Amino acid sequence: MASPVGPPKGPKLPRQPRSAKEPKAANLPTSTSDHGTARRWVASTRRTRAAAWQRLRAISQPRLTRGNVLAAGITVLLGLGVVAQVQSTQAGDLEELRQEDLIGLLDDVTVRADNLEDEVRQLELDRDRLAGGQDDDAAARAAQSRLETYQILAGTVPVVGPGIEIVVRDPEGGLDTTTMIDLIQELRDAGAEAIQIGDVRVVASTWVEVRRDTLVVDSVNVPKPYRIIAIGDPHTLAGGLAIPGGFADKVRRSGGSLDVVEGDEQSIDALHSPTDRDYAQPVP
Amino acid sequence: MIPVFGLAVGVVLGLLLQPEVPLWLEPYLAIAVIAALDAVFGGVRASLEGVFNDRVFVISIASNVVVAALIVFLGIQLGVGAQLSTGVVVVLGLRIFSNVASIRRHLLGA
């Protein structure tokens, strides 16, 4: 397109209908006050416009000139640069940011990290506290469980649960102390967790004696018929009593009789009040 | 016409090759592209005015790119790279606008 500077404008212009358009052209706003100058300006504008279109058509023809090739080479580079820049802008995230933006971003991130660290510390404290609390809770539960076990063993609380109720009728007074001790031993062997004879709770320190046809348990006379309640597995307890040569046999041999009732909801309400100890001290 | 093909070829090449722009070139490439755009619009305007000169075109595009890169380089060295880049973009954008306005006047007469 090595077009010469200042091409011949006159011959290339196909149309110059200046006379027909002149009145309208005069209405065009123009900075000049002189009507003739305005007319000339309009005419030159129209002429250059036509010339521009002419040249646009001319440069639309693919002509292999030096200028075209040079411009093509440069536009190739331009397209390459545009695409590269666009893609790197789209791909790059932090690289494209200005220094102030980066500093702001860094500040934001730092503040956020600080906040998060604070939160982490707080949460760790909470967690430790909760874990400790859980330990305390577990310890409390274990302690409570131990306490209940000891209370039941010591006979200081009423007990309910599955077990058996034995009613012993001994009209002839044939039961002796040994038989009653055997009964307690048999029940304990069968897994009785709590035993009550008459209105007396049987505990570790309980003693039994049959004194002149009267059953005495822990210095308390038990009225006839003897009523014994044991908490434990009902079948095992009843089976323990029914073994040959066991308690049931001995009661029958001594002329008495007994009823054993297995129940899921036996209740022991007799309490043992622990006495003050005078001598035993736990080993520290 | 051939320069338009060149632009298309460049775009396709860029899409196909996916050129990796080096980090140190990043601040200059954007400015250089805008400077080259300005020169291209100037060239279109010149050819519509019939005063296109390939020598002038090449020198103008090269000098635009070099001067823009120099200004950005100087700005980066002085610590005002971002501001100077913005200034260059504004100036080149104004020139592109005026060139496009000139092309529009040439083609549409308005």
Lowest mean pLDDT among A7-11, A44-48, A89-93, B12-16: A7-11
**pLDDT of amino acid A230:** 92
Alpha carbon separation from A231 to A19, A148, A190, A192, B88 (Å, rounded): 131, 15, 10, 5, 98
Among B18, B54, B63, the residue to mutate for chain A (most A Cβ within 10 A) = B54
Domain, as residue range, for B40? 23-108
- Cα separation of A78 and B42, whole Å? 14
A6 has a pLDDT exceeding 70: no
**pLDDT of amino acid A4:** 41
B31 has a pLDDT exceeding 90: no
A17 has a pLDDT exceeding 70: no
Domain membership flag for residue B81: yes
Range B39-57 average pLDDT: 85
A32 has a pLDDT exceeding 50: no
Q: Where are the alpha helices (DSSP H) in chain A?
A: 18-26, 35-60, 66-91, 99-154, 177-189, 234-242, 247-253
Partner A contacted by B100 (CB < 8 A): no
Which residues lie below 8 Å from residue A242, measured CB to CB, with a gap of 6+?
A248, A260
Q: Which residue has the higher pLDDT, B27 or A216?
A: A216
Lowest mean pLDDT among A1-5, A100-104, A138-142, A185-189: A1-5
Average pLDDT, chain A: 79
The domain ranges of chain A are 18-80, 97-154, 159-268
What is A25-37 written as a DSSP string?
HHTS--S-S-HHH
Domain membership flag for residue B67: yes
Q: Would residue A171 be called left, alpha or beta, if left means φ above 0 and alpha means ψ between -120 and 50 degrees?
A: alpha
- Cα separation of A196 and A155, whole Å? 9
pLDDT digits (tens, 9 = 90+) for B50-101: 888 888 888 888 888 888 888 888 888 888 888 888 888 999 999 999 999 9
Shortest CB distance from A80 goes to which of B5, B19, B109? Answer: B19
For A159-268, which CATH superfamily applies? Answer: Protein of unknown function DUF881 (3.30.70.1880)
Domain total in chain B: 1
Among B47, B64, B72, B85, the residue to mutate for chain A (most A Cβ within 10 A) = B47
Q: Tell me the ipTM for this assembly.
A: 0.80
Helix pair angle (B54-78, A66-91), 10° resolution: 30
pLDDT digits (tens, 9 = 90+) for A107-145: 999 999 999 999 999 999 988 877 776 667 777 888 888
Helix pair angle (A35-60, A18-26), 10° resolution: 120
Categorize the per-residue pLDDT at B5 as very low, low, confident or very high, splitting at 50, 70 and 90: confident
Q: Cα A233 vs. chain centroid, distance in angstroms?
A: 41
Q: Which residue has the higher pLDDT, A8 or A200?
A: A200
Q: Are A225 and A170 in contact (CB under 8 A)?
A: yes
Contact A70 B8 (CB under 8 A): no
Lowest mean pLDDT among A13-27, A100-114, A138-152: A13-27
A195 has a pLDDT exceeding 60: yes
A27 has a pLDDT exceeding 60: no
- Cα separation of A203 and A220, whole Å? 14
Partner A contacted by B73 (CB < 8 A): no
Contact A52 B26 (CB under 8 A): no
Domain membership flag for residue B1: no
A183 has a pLDDT exceeding 60: yes
Q: Which of A217, A223, A169, A176 is nearest to A195 (CA)?
A: A217
Domain membership flag for residue B4: no
How do strand A220-222 and strand A214-217 relate by DSSP bridges?
Answer: antiparallel
- Cα separation of A33 and A231, whole Å? 127
Task: Determine which helix (DSSP H) or strand (DSSP E) holds B101, and give its type and residue range.
Answer: helix B81-108
